[in-house]
Amino acid sequence: MRNGPQRHRDTEVTKIWRSLCLCVSVACGIAAAAQTPERFGIGQPAPPELIAALDIDVRPDGTGLPPGRGTAREGAQVYARHCAACHGAKGEGGSADSLVGPEPKGMAPFGPAYEQWRSGRPDVSFTIGNYWPYATTIFDYVRRAMPPPAPESLTADETYSVVAWLLAQNGIIGEDTVMSAETLPKVVMPARSRFVRDDRKGGRTIR
Amino acid sequence: MRERKKRQDGLTRRALLKGTVGAAAVTLHGGAPSPQASAAQDARAQSPPGAPSRQGRPPNELGTRSPAEQPKRLPSPTSSRTPLQDLHGTITPSDLHFERHHGGVAVIDRQSYRLLVHGMVDRPMTFTLDDLKRFPAASRICFLECSGNFVRTNGEKTTPQALCGLTSQSEWTGVRLTTILREVGARPQASWFLAEGQDAAQMTRSIPLKDVLEEAMIAYAQNGEALRPEQGYPARLLLPGFEGNSNVKWLRRLELADQPFMTREETSRYTEPLAEGSARQFSLVMDARSIITWPSYPQTVRPGWLEIRGLAWSGRGRIQRVEISTDRGGTWKAAELQGPVLPKAHTRFRLLWRWDGMPTEILSRAIDETGYVQPEWPALQAVRGRRTRYHLNPITGWMVGADGRVLFGIGRVSA
């Protein structure tokens, strides 16, 4: 994320941002723009407790991960109890998406290499093992949205352990590897390098 | 005079008789007729052309649709689609706007509703709905389309609604994002923000600030009235031209940052595996597209003059041209565009066509102001590969048979 093009992007944003601010200050100079103040004084300062309660997102660098820990061994029970009914006993899928599927190993479930590997076999599903680029996303998503009737009902330890179970079932970590705020962001997902930024930009070329 | 009056009387009696028979049949088959059915019967009973209505009901609080005109959305467990074939002009009635959500329609209490804006800002703040409405307001007309808007599982028996009913158009009103960003003192280093919903899915998307700064708004009204719950009441993010999912509904929180958050909806979902083996991410802009909404399945047409009608739109700006082929793509003719042609908006097109009664296929293709030409399915497949589910916008068409029956041109978009 913090590579060259990203930097470039940031400076562009800064430029646009400055020009917007400038528009406002230039406008302030002319009579009609008295109605466009820098600030309106509308709204309330956000209480820190409210921010803490709502700010549940987890970033790829681990920002937002709570204290706690868990292993796949511990996660098996959490999974069986809270997840298996919809996602299948082994994460193979049921009424809801399949979560486990390391195949095709070392490949994505699409593209030329995959098409050759598959040759005639039925397609494999897109899963955590073969498509998710960041392990932190699993924690973020499970905490905010799973299980659907009661999101945010698992404890931090339960969430770390069920995330560990999903990673282990997909062959990414071992049964006893501890997942925590330190270790989870360091997990390198198999599909990580597949992802590229949108390069469509209109014009004649179909991308 | 008298002669004519007599004939009219005769017509009236016959028509009335027919109406009575019809009503009797309904009663026989269905038991007690529903209020709606009996309203329809009344209308039928009064059907001689030009006959005055009997005294109607007095004025009331809410208007209604004619019992004879009852367009409906097409629901599935996760979405509900706009009946494109039943609509005219460019605005979608709010109750026919498509729906797509990941945790059901959220029920948000107006009194306790707050929008929290924090992260890379000088002053983290919350805003009530009334606060949002006190800021200077802005309105704009634009389309909203789900990037998964391409379903053809019914083969040649696919309607426009089933094919691509996950697009709708409204006039949205709200406060500009820049107004809010100034209020909280957004820092210049902020290059992305997270938008989060208050629904059961706590939907989250990362949005590149630079790409939306000029047009983004926090909308609290649609087509002149407060947002509907299905559209994100009390407030939603509106990003003209961007895929529907990123226009987060039931907007609860904006967090400014210097990097994207990589949520599930921008990694596992709403990304496109490509033919060459990489997966495209943050593909937010909707490419140009068009669809003929009439004639279409399941209609039947007769030889003679027909007006081909449809909609075209582009997330990159204005529709520049829509071309129609009535000979399976052999030749193309520019359709008339209904003005004003707005950027990032459904644009109505029309073309007169004299059908000679021979079987054919009619097609439309949109060209936007960047020069982008809506692609044929094979060209799209060549770059996207087999396994992409989002941003599929191929040229589609309708087969017109010698018997006048219109079927979806499934062959054109099959693998």
pTM (two decimals): 0.89
User: Are B192 and B335 contained in the same domain?
Assistant: no
A132 close contact with B: CB closer than 8 A: yes
Check which CATH number belongs to the domain holding A138 and give it.
Answer: 1.10.760.10
CA distance B362 to B328: 6
Q: Would you state the structure tokens that stand for residue A81, as one six-digit string?
A: 């109890």
Q: Does residue B180 form part of some domain?
A: yes
User: Looking at the domain assignment, is residue B64 inside a domain?
Assistant: no
Instruction: State the alpha helices, DSSP H only, in A35-155.
Output: 48-54, 72-82, 84-87, 112-118, 128-131, 135-145
State how many domains chain A has.
1
Let me know if residue A144 belongs to a domain. Answer: yes
* Domain contains A190: yes
Q: Is residue A200 domain-resident?
A: no
The mean predicted confidence, pLDDT, of chain B is 91
Q: Are residues B245 and B304 in the same domain?
A: no
Number of domains in chain B: 2
My answer on whether B240 and B113 are in the same domain is yes
Residue B58 in any domain: the answer is no
The answer on B317 and B210 residing in a single domain is no
Domain termination site, one of B240, B270, B300:
B270
Q: B162 CB contacts (<8 Å, ≥6 apart)?
A: B74, B81, B151, B154
B88-107 pLDDT, tens per residue?
Answer: 999 999 999 999 999 999 99
- Please report residues of B whose CB lies closer than 8 A to that of A120: none
CATH of residue B148: 3.90.420.10
Place B405 in a pLDDT band, splitting at 50, 70 and 90. Answer: very high
The answer to whether residue A162 sits within a structural domain is yes
Residues of A in contact with B214 (CB under 8 A): 16
**B381-399 tens-digit pLDDT:** 999 999 999 999 999 999 9
Instruction: Tell me the two tokens of residue A96.
Output: 């809801």
Domain identity same for B92 and B120: yes
Identify whether A5 is part of a domain: no
Burial class from Cβ neighbours inside 10 Å (0-12, 13-18, 19+) for residue B217 reads buried
Residue B68 lies in a domain: no
Does a structural domain hold residue A158? yes
The string of pLDDT tens digits covering residues A96-110 is 999 999 899 888 999
Chain A residues whose CB is inside 8 A of the B135 CB are: 40, 42
Same domain, B310 and B265: no
Asked if A16 is an interface residue toward chain B (Cβ–Cβ < 8 A), one would say: yes
pLDDT at B22: 36
Query: Which residue range is the domain that position A159 belongs to?
Result: 56-194
A123 touches chain B (CB under 8 A): yes
Give the pLDDT mean for B77-88. 97
User: Using CB atoms and an 8 Å cut-off, which of residues 91-150 of chain B contact chain A?
Assistant: 102-103, 114, 116-118, 123-127, 131, 134-136
Read off the pLDDT of residues B33-46 as tens digits, 9 standing for 90 and up.
444 445 555 555 56
Residue B403 reports pLDDT greater than 80: yes
Q: In what order do the strands lie in the sheet with B125-127?
A: A44-45, B125-127, B115-119, B251-257, B192-197, B204-208
B window 314-373, beta carbon within 8 A of A: 316-317, 368, 370-373
B257 contacts chain A (CB < 8 A)? yes
Judge whether B171 lies within some domain: yes
Is residue B57 included in any domain, yes or no? no
Contact indicator for B257, B193 with CB cutoff of 8 Å: yes
Rounded Cα gap, residues A141 and A184, in angstroms: 14
Domain that holds residue B350: 289-413
Q: Is the pLDDT of residue B270 over 50?
A: yes
**Mean pLDDT (whole number) for B165-186:** 98
**B252 with A54: Cβ contact below 8 A:** yes
Is residue A10 scored above 60 in pLDDT?
no
Contacts A106 to B, Cβ<8 Å: none
For the stretch A186-192, contacts whose Cβ atoms lie closer than 8 Å and that sit 24 or more positions apart, written own/partner, are: A187/A135, A189/A132, A189/A133, A189/A134, A189/A135, A190/A102, A190/A106, A190/A129, A190/A130, A191/A108, A191/A130, A191/A131, A191/A132, A191/A133, A191/B279, A192/A133, A192/A134
Domain end (from B243, B270, B297): B270
Q: Let me know if residue A43 belongs to a domain.
A: no
Q: How much is the ipTM here?
A: 0.88
What's the rounded Cα separation, in Å, for the pair A136 and B148?
Answer: 25
Given this model, what pLDDT does residue A36 score?
81
Q: Are residues B87 and B208 in the same domain?
A: yes
Judge whether B105 lies within some domain. Answer: yes
* Cross-chain Cβ contact A145/B127 below 8 Å: no
**Radius of gyration of chain A from its Cα atoms, rounded to whole angstroms:** 23
B240 and B349 co-located in one domain:
no
CA distance, residue A159 to nearest chain B CA (Å): 16
Predicted confidence (pLDDT) per residue in A21-35, tens digit: 444 444 444 444 556
**Closest residue in chain B to residue A151, using alpha carbons only:** B200
> Which residues in chain A are closer than 8 Å to B279, comparing Cβ atoms?
108, 110, 131, 191, 194-196
Last residue of a domain, one of B206, B240, B270: B270
User: Predicted confidence band at B18 (pLDDT cuts at 50, 70, 90)?
Assistant: very low
Does residue B255 fall inside a structural domain? yes
Residue type, A191: A
Q: Does B381 touch chain A (CB under 8 A)?
A: no
